[in-house]
Structure 1
């Protein structure tokens, strides 16, 4: 994404959802001039690409612990990103070899869901704290244009050695997904933007997002259940939102605006296949 000017939080939603039915109705009525932003790691794909790259580089255990701390909200995101990359030191050749030797693993139902949203003229974005070089091939596979990908950029020197990351990218900082969503709302003049993801950094995007849907199909995080407006376990629940009954949970949302939280209404949890390997 262009990173020359970081947006301020404009066009904040006046009201956030107060019930499960409100969230599902908002989702069901998305159309032209609306947008959905998906996190990538453990949401669009199974697992964490950063962790998988670390495994490939032989430092998986050390990096995975930092990732857990970051996704659990226990560490400043930029500090965690810097720490992981300093452990990994991924050079250009290693990154390219990783891309060639590792197939994409998509979460079951994501391709169908993206197609359904696009059929309804909803703009679909990927907003990730991961790396553009790994995410762009995935975006192409599920028909999301490069211009709709907000992610971090690895930097290399003339010899191809790791030289840091672009710290002007909003997704490289704590709260950066909120900045990305704000930019998306302004750029597309979207009426409604919904964030979908599995982690604490996704919750930070609402507001300015109009709602945050937590996803637990790959990893279920209790902290996210307590921060989202709606929690789903399968993307199929969002394909038929008004008919979905058993697998969704309306969660108590801890708002960054210090408004009163909403009493949780729990629904029975169901199970579905978590991934499809392509």
Structure 2
């Protein structure tokens, strides 16, 4: 999903290939431990201590993103992601929630007040080149909160 194929098309094609069941998605969540990016727990905790309301907005799947949110003490009501809908143990509907992907995220500012490019997991050159502030480790943001 590097931008050559529209997000919706790429996601629809991938789901058509794997046709996951509800049980498979639940098993994936249960059997594969969550690996959070280093320092994210500390950053989220610091922001929550300052009464900052946090949201997770993702092009991923809500059932997985909610799992991340629970580990970070972010309420499920603050999660916006794609919903997988299952009928008769089969996936047949994808309910899209608008979300950006990688380089397209830069377009969120404005209306957002700021955009911080993050390359700690994947470096997207377009994001790195266009973000006014680009980091590869959340420790930098934790440090900014201390100042």
What aligned pairs does 1:194-209 form with structure 2 within 5 A after superposition? 199-209=102-112
1:102 deviates by 0.6
2:94 matched residue in structure 1: 165
- The alignment of Structure 1 onto Structure 2 pairs a total of residues equal to 147
In the TM superposition, structure 1's runs of 4+ consecutive aligned residues that sit over 6 Å from their partners are none
1:190 matched residue in structure 2: none
Say yes or no: does 1:92 pair with 2:22.
Answer: yes
1:92 deviates by 0.8
TM, length-normalised to structure 1? 0.50
Which ranges in structure 2 are unaligned for 5 or more consecutive residues? Answer: none
TM, length-normalised to structure 2? 0.91
1:7 matched residue in structure 2: none
Distance in 1 separating the partners of 2:62 and 2:48: 22
What aligned pairs does 1:254-269 form with structure 2 within 5 A after superposition? none
Rg (Cα) greater in structure: 1
**Helix, strand or coil at the partner of 2:116:** strand
1:187 matched residue in structure 2: none
Distance in 2 separating the partners of 1:126 and 1:238: 17
Distance in 2 separating the partners of 1:153 and 1:124: 20
What aligned pairs does 1:161-200 form with structure 2 within 5 A after superposition? 161-167=90-96, 169-171=97-99, 177=100, 199-200=102-103
- Residues 187-237 of structure 1 deviation map (CA, whole Å, 9 limit, x = unaligned): xxxxxxxxxxx8223223222211111111121121111221210011000
Higher RCO structure (Cα 8 Å, ≥6 apart): 1
Question: 1:154 aligned to 55, 78, 84, which one?
Answer: 84
**Helix, strand or coil at the partner of 2:110:** coil
1:242 deviates by 7.4
1:136 matched residue in structure 2: 66
Distance in 1 separating the partners of 2:108 and 2:17: 28
**Helix, strand or coil at the partner of 1:170:** coil
Distance in 2 separating the partners of 1:92 and 1:108: 30
Which ranges in structure 1 are unaligned for 5 or more consecutive residues? Answer: 1-69, 172-176, 178-197, 245-278
1:99 deviates by 1.2
Distance in 1 separating the partners of 2:33 and 2:122: 20
Question: 1:123 aligned to 53, 62, 66, which one?
Answer: 53
Residues 103 and 242 of structure 1, relative CA distance in 2, 3 Å threshold: closer
